[in-house]
Each structure stands twice: as C-alpha cells, then as structure tokens.
Amino acid sequence: MSRVMGILGDFKLLHLINISETRLGKLGYTAGVPSDLLDRYDNVLESIASLVRELEIKGPVPPLEKAPIPDRDIFYMEETLADIENQVSGCLVRGREAAKELAKTEELISRLSMLGPADIDFTRLSRLCFVYCTFGVLPADNMPRLEESLSDIHHSLVTISRNKDRFVLAAFCLNEDRDVLERALKSAFFKEIDIPSGLKGTVSEVIEGLKKELPALETKAAQAREEKEAFKKRFQKALLLMREKAFMARLLLKAQSKFGKIDHTYLVTGWLPIEIFPRLKDAIMKATRGRAIVESVDPEDVREVREGIVKIPILFNNPLLIRPFEKLTSLYGTPSYREVEPTVFLALSFVLLFGMMFGDVGHGLVLFIVGLYVFRRLYRYMDYGIILMECGVSSMVFGVLYGSIFGVEDIIPAIWLHPMKDINRFMMFSVYIGVGMISMGFILNIINMIRTRNFQEFLSAGGVVGALLYWLLAGLGIRYVMAGPPAPVEIMAAKAVSSVLLLVMIVERPVRVILRRRRERGKGKSPQAEQGIGSMVIESIIEALDSIIRFLANTVSFVRVAAFALTHAALFAGVFAIADMVAQGSGRGAGYWLTLVGGNIVIILLEGMVVSIQIIRLEYFEFFSKFFRGGGRPFQPLVKQEEVR
C-alpha cells in the first residue's frame, strides 16, 4: 500500500473520491489514518523545524523528484535526523552558552556604567557592617516624597546621575532600618540595579576587567557561529528536502482517510485524466508485483455519478498563455463535466477587447514591461504578469492600428483608423464584435445542449430557433448598414421567417407539455397539477418578446467598446490640454513634462482598471450568460505543491 501511495504522490494528478461518501464507506469499510505513523512524522517535522530555526536556514525549497513511501521513509528520516542532531547539538549548545555569557557581561557593563559617575569602590562597600546599601533608578517626581518618607530614619540618598525624568541613586541606611528603606523605595517605584556580590575594586576597574573578558567571549561566540555556518551549509539541502518529504508523506497518510479497506485489501478510487491511466496502471502493477487490480470505469457506468451523489471534477488544462484566465472563469463558476470549457474563448475575447479599448503603443509597452517584471520577479502573481503582458501586446497592436504612441497621433500613421476621427465606423465595428461574440455564445450553447443531451431546450429562445432569429435580425441590420435598406422581397422573406421562428418559440413549450401529459396518460399515470396551457402560451409570448429585446440590448451593449476607446483618446486630449496650460505659465520645463508623465500614469491606472471591469462585465453578462451553466466541481489533485509547503 505504501508503495502505491508513493506512486500516487508521484503522479499528482489524482482527485480522490472520499470513500465515506459512497455506499461502501457508509457500510464502514474505510481505511482511516494511521495515527502512530502520523505522530512520528509530526515529531520529525518538529525536530526539522527546530534545526532549521537554530541553524537559521533559509532559501529556496528544492523540488521533490520522487514522492515518499510513508511507512518506509520514516525510518530513514528518523535515523538521518538523529545523526544530524548528534553532530549539530554540541555546536548549538556552545553557541547558545557563548551568546548568553556575552549578553550577560555586556548587560552587567551597561548596568555598572550607570554607577560610573560615582566610581564606587565595591571592596569598601563589602566591608560595611552596620550600613545597608542599594543602587537603583527612581522617577524624578517621586524624590521629594521619598526623602520625606525616610525622614524618621538615618539615611542617605546619594544622586549618582540624573536626567529629566529619573535619578540613579545610591540609598544608604542602618541595617536595623533596612525594612523601612526597602518599603519606602518599593512604594516610590525605585527599580533596583542588580549588582552581583563579590565584586572587587571601583566601578571603573570592574568595568575595565569585564571589558577585557569581552574579546575572549566574542571569539568564542564567533567560533560557535562559524561552526554553525559550516553545519548550515552542510545540512541545508538535506534538511529542506527532508522537510518537503515529511510534509508530502503526512499528506499521503492523511489521504488514507478517503480510502476504503476490507481486511487487508485497500480500495483507492479517484478521478484522473484518461491519458495517464495506462502509465499509472503499469506503475502500480509493477510496484505490487501484480497483486493489485487497477480498473478504469466510464463515469456513465458509475451509479453514484448517475444519481448525482458524486460529481465528476473538472481539470482545467489550458496552455500557459491561456491558463491565467482560468481564474476569471472560476469566478463565474466551474463548468460541469459535459459543458464546453470556455476559458479559451474568454482569453481571446478579453485580450482583443482590451486592445481595442486601450489601444496605444506606449501604454501597451508600459503594461508589457510591468507584466514582465511581475512574471519574472513576483512568482506568486505570475498569472497576473502573463495577463498584463498579453493585454500590453494587444494594446500595442491596436496602438499601431490607431497610430497612437502615448496619445501622440502624428508620429506613426494610423494603419486602420483614428478612433476620435472615425467614430461611427468604430462603433459599427464594436457592434459587429458584439454580434460575433453573442453568436459564439449561441453556438456554444447548442453544443452544450447536444453534449448534455438537453434537446428539449433546442427550439427555445436560447437554442437553435433563438439563434436563427438573432442571426436573421443581425443580418438585416448589417445589410442595412453596409448596402442600404433591404429590398421589399427581402423584407417579406425576413418577416415570414421571423414569424415562423417566433411562433415556434412561443408554442414549443406548450406543445412539449401537451405531448408529455399525453405520454403520461398513456402510461396510466395521472398528470401532475401544473400550469394551464393558456397561461403557458401567454408566458411563452412574453418570454419570446423579452428574448428579442435582450438580443438587441446585448448587442448594443458592445458599443461601450468604442465608447471606452474614445474615452481613452479623450483623456489624452485632457492631459495634453492641462500640460499646455502649465507650459503657458512656466514654459515647457519640468512642470509640462511632469504633467504629461503624471497624466499618463493616471490614464494607465484608472482607465486600465475601468476597461478591465467593463470587459469582465461584457464577458459575464453578454457572453457567458448565453451558454455557461456552471455547477461543476473543481479538480483537486492529491498533492498540491502549495499544500506541501
């Protein structure tokens, strides 16, 4: 079993099914977690953590080449760790003691330095037989009360030094009045300076003596540090690797709670991409010397899947440049198993729309450079770096098409158009893009209907009939814009076809219901109490009209692509106008250029953010809403790299 777990760890791409959620699990045939072994791994991890901390090991974590075999590797880890601890512990103890001794001496020197101005002779003080003496710090405001409170006993408060809010004092009294002095000092918030007994000579002599000891102590501490450094270099990789292995082993052990077990036989069930199944099977058969049964089952044959108890998890499998957009798809939902995975469409349309709305060579270049920096330096945000780079390239391409570099439109010629000068054409193009995206939405919805065998919606507003009606209306619109008003024959034909399509949309649901009721009656079932046919027809009419309005609104919504491109150009005009005003006042000096730079930064940040939000809105509401149902379950591999760490 342990070897099999190692193989599963190596393959990584396995989404375990929790056996306790299945019938077998409900009967109690679950494997459970081997708590003894888990405790041993916990101890190992604790020891490694302590060593890593003490040796001050930092740095990149080496990648694991092979997953551990938990119940075999623990022996190796414990033995190796004990060996390292044996070698290192002496050095660590010596280092700790040296550091402690050094700190203690330095602290004593600093305490004694407070008494420095009086240069007290400790030898003479130690000879005092009838007088008690103590040193400490007193809040300055408490001095008058302290003096008065000691007025009934023989005492002396000698000020050694003072600053604005505290005194360093030496307090003397007769031995018989020691209690009174101590009570008074305590209540006056006197903080005693702890002086070790047995000191000989004056304060300066003692400090001198202690300072002479310092180099030896420092050398000792330095030696211990060097020794520690050598151990650090020697064991760094081994300890970090062992920590990774122990984490991974722990994860694999914990995963056993999802396994099934009958006597000495384990049952491991899970989802994995079909193409890696043969390799996994071979590896397991080899490791167990044929004493395993590895079977693949079509999801359709699994009763739990059919009954909806178990959902097939979805593994996003997109190329590197598309992968970052998976996050945007996931924000909307996880596609179900048979649905089209829409990330690739989202990625392409996102980049295209961003370029159109934010087209400028300079700004695109800035975005690309920022993205490249994020991609190379900030590993955690690599995905955002890729998105920024792609959007940057798209902006640059459209910048060339618009002939715009940092808003200046006379450096390079516009290959296609200037958005501000050709507004109508640009708006029409935006609408064409909208027609294209909505049409793609219809096509994907029809594909989803076929894949999920949901044929009953085929003739609805979201199905083939709705799509045909939309294309008919869109075609008429495009025909009108490009070649003028349609001929009467064309209008007649369009009216006839659209009437038929509308009629189908209206009657398809009532007809379906009537047919179903008939079928049920034929089988002897009494039909369920539900809506009457009349109200159903009225509802269908309203739905059909609503769909037509929605088609129109969805398409017009894409005009915003042009609107934001115009806003982008208008903001440039604003920035140049402000810079010119500055230049009129103080010439084309630093103020002018600062305004231009500041303005461009504001445009990149503000406009960049607004454009992104608008594109996401278009993607979600106008595109995804046509075909994407979601409700799927994300694929969770047995071992995620971040979980291991």
Partner 1 sequence: MLRAALKYSYLNAKTRTMHARRLKPSDWHILETTKDPPAFLRYLSATSYAPWVSRLLSARQEGNEQFERFVFAALFDDYRKIIRSIPDNDALGLVRALAARFEAENLKIVLRALFSGLKKSQVSHLLYPLDQKLSRLPFDSLWRQDSLGDAVKLLAETAYGPMLRHALSQVDAQGRLFPVEMAIDIVFFRQINSAVHGVRSRRDRTSVVEVVNSYVDVVNICHVARIRFVYGLSAEEALNYSYPGGSLTIKGLHSLAKAKDLQALIKLLPLGIRLAAEGAEDIPGLRMALEEWLLRRMRRAFLGYPFHLGVQVAHLLEKEIEVRSLVRLFQAKATQYQRPQAELVPGILLKSGDSVGGEGVVQAG
Binding site for partner 1 (CB under 8 A): 137, 139, 141-142, 144-146, 148-152, 165, 180, 183-184, 186-189, 191
Q: Which residue has the tokens 């009953």?
A: 456
Question: In the bound complex, what is the minimum distance in angstroms from residue 182's beta carbon to partner 1?
Answer: 10
Q: Which is nearer to partner 1, 155 or 243 (CB)?
A: 155
Closest CB to partner 1 among residues 186, 286: 186
Tell me how far, at minimum, the Cβ of 622 lies from partner 1, in Å.
Answer: 46
- What is the DSSP track for 297-353? --GGG-HHHHTTSSPPEE-----TTTGGGHHHHHHH-PPPTTS--THHHHHHHHHHH
Residue number with CB closer to partner 1 (192 or 226): 192
Contact 358, 419 (CB under 8 A): no
CA distance 457 to 629: 14
Q: How far apart are CA 132 and CA 219, in angstroms?
A: 39
HSE-up (13 A, CA, CB side) for residue 168: 16
Residue among 148 and 520 whose Cβ is closer to partner 1:
148
R_g (Cα) of the chain, nearest Å: 40
Q: CB of 109 within 8 A of CB of 211?
A: yes
Q: Roughly how many angstroms between the first and final C-alpha of the chain, as a whole number?
A: 24
d(CA 146, CA 160): 16
CA distance 551 to 490: 21
Minimal distance, residue 132 CB to partner 1, in Å = 15
Give least dist CB 49 to partner 1, A.
Answer: 22
Nearer to partner 1, 144 or 534 (CB): 144
SS (H, E, C) 110-122: HHHHHCHHHCCEH
CA distances from 114 to 162, 209, 211, 330, 514 (A): 10, 16, 15, 66, 101
Nearer to partner 1, 132 or 266 (CB): 132
Minimum separation from the CB atom of position 102 to partner 1 (A): 24
Smallest separation (angstroms) from partner 1 to the CB of 179: 9
Residue 260 is encoded by which pair of tokens? 């099934």
Polymer length in residues for the chain: 645
Nearer to partner 1, 150 or 469 (CB): 150
Nearer to partner 1, 80 or 134 (CB): 134
In whole angstroms, the minimum distance from the beta carbon of 152 to partner 1 comes to 8
Beta carbon nearer to partner 1, 145 or 525: 145
Q: How far apart are CB 171 and partner 1 at their closest, in Å?
A: 13
What the block records as the tokens of 448 is 């989803």
Closest C-alpha to 368, from 408, 348, 397: 397
When the beta carbons of 196 and 598 are compared against partner 1, the nearer one is 196
Q: How far is the CB of 134 from partner 1 (least distance, A)?
A: 13
- Report the nearest approach of partner 1 to the CB of residue 137 (Å): 8
> Of the two residues 171 and 356, which places its CB atom closer to partner 1 in the complex?
171
CB atoms within 10 A of CB 180: 16
Select 191 or 376, whichever has its Cβ closest to partner 1. 191
Q: Which is nearer to partner 1, 23 or 186 (CB)?
A: 186
Angstrom distance (rounded) from CA 255 to CA 269: 11
Residue (137 or 287) nearer to partner 1, CB: 137
Closer by beta carbon to partner 1, 152 or else 263: 152
Least distance in angstroms from the C-beta of 195 to partner 1: 16
Smallest distance from partner 1 to CB 114, Å? 14
Those residues whose C-beta lies under 8 Å from the C-beta of residue 477, and which sit 6 or more positions away, are none
- Cβ-based neighbour number of residue 198 at 10 Å: 7
Tokens of 436: 């294209």
State the minimum distance, in angstroms, from the CB of residue 117 to partner 1: 21
Task: Report the candidate in 133, 129, 142 with the shortest Cα–Cα distance to residue 195.
Answer: 133
Output the CA torsion sign for 84, 87, 92, 93: positive
Least Å distance between CB 188 and partner 1?
5
- Long-range CB pairs of 228-237, under 8 A, 24+ apart, other chains included: 228/54, 228/55, 228/56, 228/91, 228/92, 228/95, 231/55, 231/87, 231/88, 231/91, 232/55, 232/56, 232/57, 235/51, 235/55, 235/57, 235/84, 235/88, 236/55, 236/57, 236/59, 237/62
Q: How far is the CB of 168 from partner 1 (least distance, A)?
A: 13
Q: Report the C-alpha gap between 238 and 49 in whole angstroms.
A: 13
Query: Cα-flanking dihedrals φ and ψ of residue 249, to 5°?
Result: -60, -40
Q: Which helix (H) or strand (E) holds 136?
A: strand 131-139
Name residue 135's beta-bridge partners: 170
Structure token digits, residue 162 = 């003072």
